[in-house]
Structure 1
Amino acid sequence: MSRTNSDPAAWYADPPVKANILAAGAVLWRQTAAGAVEMALVHRPKYDDWSLPKGKLDAGETPVLAALREVTEETGLNSRLGRYLGRVTYPIPGHRKLKRVDYWAAKVVDGDFESNSEVDVLHWHRAEDIMDALSYPMDRHIIRNFLRLPADTATLLLVRHAKAGRRDRFTGEDDERPLEKAGRAQARLLAPNLAAFGAAEIVSAPPLRCVQTVTPLAEILGVDIELEPLFSESGYATAPDAAAERARDLVSEHSVRVICSQGKVIPDLVGAWAAEDGVALPAARNRKGSVWSLSFHKGRLIAADHLDRALNPTDVQH
């Protein structure tokens, strides 16, 4: 049977093709004075379509940073990221290429729409009319993910410290073991990615490698790092309930807080939290330098997103 590359069925009959065009975007939203949620759609004159703001990753850029940048470039609005909404993957007509787009919720912080070379109009829509306004079914899938849970959430970012080398090769006290070169690079990269979620305050377990992981973020924000022994492996092992209560106390509707902790703390803390509030966790290796983005509504955990690949710079093709 004759098939062309523009035929989507051909992609399933042939051997799988890895996505080689990477992009990121967001459901940009705001709340009216009456409390209603409105979502932004942008019109692109090049395609004469209505879609969610999105765009390709720049070389060396992470999906998280690309999502934030593309929203600002296409709309002129500044925002902060929240819940991860999933990804869509689709073939590019006329090319043997797949495009993958990761999406986050993004709450408007400030700014005004400015018409530009890519987007000439921005319209705000409520849930009852946005589906009919969208040009693509894939965007409707992302909107459904957004509407499945409350829009206005509090965010808590739980970071596992960056790479610090092998314990058996360090001769001093383990709490004084510093980040290695690769870990310092991870820490520098983490800073703007955590800031993209609106990070404003930092609490860290006392071990040096934890403190060093969030030091670049503290320097960007101009804030001090609060030490919390309960988030160290030894402190947590002694008083896990007190540690869990302390973590819950850090959830705030007014400030996005970052907790930096260790490998024997984070999976247990997140797992217990999810079980208590009835949230299914995604598969996660909890690697060093990875982040749990936890979303809360009225004090209850409603979503837990593990950010690992999304925090890594990616070589991209345009």
Structure 2
Amino acid sequence: MSVTENQPVPGGIDDEPPAPVRAAGAVLWRAGAGGVEVALVHRPRYDDWSLPKGKLDPGELPAHAAVREVAEETGFSCVLSRFLTRVNYSVPAAGGGRAPKVVDYFTARAGNGSFAPNDEVDELRWLRTDQARELLSYPHDVGVLDAFEKSPAESATVLLVRHAKAGKRSEWAGDDNLRPLTEAGRQQRDALHSLLPLFGPSRIYSAPRLRCEQTVAPIAAELGIGIATEPLFSEEGYLGDPDAAADVLRRVAGGHGTAVVCSQGGVIPDLVARLAHSADLPLGEVVSRKGSVWTLTFALDRPSGNGSGPALRLAAADYLADPLA
């Protein structure tokens, strides 16, 4: 097999280092007869087996590129569940030398579709992870598969969103609960409207703030569902009983399908840190800029014998920056 993706090539050195090549992909999975199966694609140009991935189009976010590349290379639609890992390596640069390549990978559950050979991919195989590990051509893809296998087999996703920009509180003369999004905030809202549906949300919750509700209103309208307000996701409600707020978020996670929760800057960092601490999940600094999203993955532990239902613990927390940043 001739594999060229990671082989050095001759060439000169430019005065300026080449810009990183940005790409995104996914571990596309489905439930097979023998358990979880993942999709590998064969690229005749390189004669290699890899995970579906490709370069970002201008102005495209990694999540958008991952979903698009999955569809283009495999023929399947998909729903993202979480950011998985980032891989760095080098590739041949235009004009010679090497350029850094940065690939963001997501976990994606396969939807409808069927494979047909195309210009980039001539074969697709659905394999158990142990079989896929043996077939993959590159060590960095094996590392991505390792990260996928460490994810909980049964999980639930909550997209914890900080509301978009609404101007300064000191410059708003009315009831602060009714402070609306600014023009910059509406642009962030629209960017979130293009991002969050990639994760397949089916339920939406919000702090009782106009700016929070406005941030997620377009998604609710598109889904044809209402926005459930939760006072414990507001700053004063959270500060009054943070443990109760964390319990409510766990109950939200335990509902059917992915949930979107829109809250405030005085809530999100402490809430995520609290959930992580209770699950012994090490996290660094928990930031939360306006228009950003924490993708929270909860493990669904088996129900206890007392009929109380499954216990939920935070298994992963991944930060997606403001889409317009």
Shared fold, TM over 0.5 = yes
1:235 corresponds to 2:234: no
Taking a change above 3 Å as real, the CA distance of residues 133 and 188 of structure 1, as seen in their structure-2 partners, is same
1:146 to 145, 148, 160: 148
Q: Which secondary structure state, in structure 1, belongs to the residue aligned with residue 166 of structure 2?
A: coil
Aligned equivalents of 1:15 and 1:134: distance in 2?
A: 36
Q: Post-superposition shift, 1:223? A: 1.4
Aligned equivalents of 1:14 and 1:282: distance in 2?
A: 37
Which residue pairs with 1:160 in the alignment?
Answer: 162
Taking a change above 3 Å as real, the CA distance of residues 18 and 82 of structure 1, as seen in their structure-2 partners, is farther
Moved more, 282-291 or 39-48: 282-291
| Deviations 1:3-51 (CA, angstroms, capped at 9, x unpaired) | xxx749x9xx9999575321100011111245x1111100111111100
Aligned equivalents of 1:288 and 1:17: distance in 2?
A: 33
Which residue pairs with 2:113 in the alignment?
Answer: 111
| Deviations 1:74-112 (CA, angstroms, capped at 9, x unpaired) | 111111112222111222223442221100111112222
1:223 to 222, 225, 244: 225
Taking a change above 3 Å as real, the CA distance of residues 203 and 262 of structure 1, as seen in their structure-2 partners, is same
8 Å Cα contact 1:206/1:232 also seen in 2: yes
Q: Post-superposition shift, 1:254? A: 2.9
Taking a change above 3 Å as real, the CA distance of residues 200 and 18 of structure 1, as seen in their structure-2 partners, is farther
Q: Which secondary structure state, in structure 2, belongs to the residue aligned with residue 119 of structure 1?
A: coil
Amino acid at match of 1:44: R
Which residue pairs with 1:3 in the alignment?
Answer: none
Which residue pairs with 1:133 in the alignment?
Answer: 135
Aligned equivalents of 2:27 and 2:259: distance in 1?
A: 22
Taking a change above 3 Å as real, the CA distance of residues 18 and 261 of structure 1, as seen in their structure-2 partners, is farther
Taking a change above 3 Å as real, the CA distance of residues 312 and 25 of structure 1, as seen in their structure-2 partners, is farther
Aligned equivalents of 1:175 and 1:46: distance in 2?
A: 57
Which residue pairs with 1:169 in the alignment?
Answer: 171
| Deviations 1:52-94 (CA, angstroms, capped at 9, x unpaired) | 0001111111111111111111111111112222111222223
Q: Post-superposition shift, 1:289? A: 0.6
Which residue pairs with 1:316 in the alignment?
Answer: none
| Deviations 1:119-147 (CA, angstroms, capped at 9, x unpaired) | 11100121222222011111111111111
| Deviations 1:201-223 (CA, angstroms, capped at 9, x unpaired) | 10000111101110121122221
Q: Which secondary structure state, in structure 2, belongs to the residue aligned with residue 157 of structure 1?
A: strand
Taking a change above 3 Å as real, the CA distance of residues 302 and 184 of structure 1, as seen in their structure-2 partners, is same
Which residue pairs with 1:305 in the alignment?
Answer: 318
Structure 1, unmatched stretches of 5+, are 1-5, 314-318
Amino acid at match of 2:25: G
8 Å Cα contact 2:40/2:125 also seen in 1: yes
Aligned equivalents of 1:7 and 1:121: distance in 2?
A: 27
Q: Which secondary structure state, in structure 2, belongs to the residue aligned with residue 138 of structure 1?
A: helix
2:202 to 200, 203, 208: 200
Q: Post-superposition shift, 1:187? A: 0.6
4+ residue runs of structure 1 moved beyond 4 angstroms? Answer: 13-19
Return the structure number with greater relative CO, CA threshold 8 A, min gap 6. 1
Which residue pairs with 2:251 in the alignment?
Answer: 249
Aligned equivalents of 1:103 and 1:132: distance in 2?
A: 20
Count of equivalent residues: 305
8 Å Cα contact 2:273/2:286 also seen in 1: no
Q: Post-superposition shift, 1:192? A: 2.3
Q: Which secondary structure state, in structure 2, belongs to the residue aligned with residue 246 of structure 1?
A: helix
Aligned equivalents of 1:172 and 1:133: distance in 2?
A: 62
Correspondence list, 1:49-88, <5 A? 49-88=48-87
Which residue pairs with 2:3 in the alignment?
Answer: none
Amino acid at match of 1:301: L
Amino acid at match of 2:150: R
Taking a change above 3 Å as real, the CA distance of residues 290 and 18 of structure 1, as seen in their structure-2 partners, is farther
8 Å Cα contact 2:269/2:287 also seen in 1: no
Taking a change above 3 Å as real, the CA distance of residues 139 and 15 of structure 1, as seen in their structure-2 partners, is farther
| Deviations 1:175-210 (CA, angstroms, capped at 9, x unpaired) | 111111111111111012111111111000011110
Q: Post-superposition shift, 1:282? A: 4.2
8 Å Cα contact 2:29/2:108 also seen in 1: yes
1:183 corresponds to 2:185: yes
Which residue pairs with 1:20 in the alignment?
Answer: 20
Taking a change above 3 Å as real, the CA distance of residues 32 and 96 of structure 1, as seen in their structure-2 partners, is closer
1:48 corresponds to 2:47: yes
Structure 2, unmatched stretches of 5+, are 1-6, 301-311
Q: Which secondary structure state, in structure 1, belongs to the residue aligned with residue 118 of structure 2?
A: coil
Aligned equivalents of 2:193 and 2:291: distance in 1?
A: 11
Which residue pairs with 2:280 in the alignment?
Answer: 278
User: TM-score with structure 2 length normalisation?
Assistant: 0.87
Q: Which secondary structure state, in structure 1, belongs to the residue aligned with residue 71 of structure 2?
A: helix
Which residue pairs with 1:29 in the alignment?
Answer: 29
| Deviations 1:256-308 (CA, angstroms, capped at 9, x unpaired) | 11100000111111111111011122444210111110111212211111111
Taking a change above 3 Å as real, the CA distance of residues 282 and 130 of structure 1, as seen in their structure-2 partners, is farther
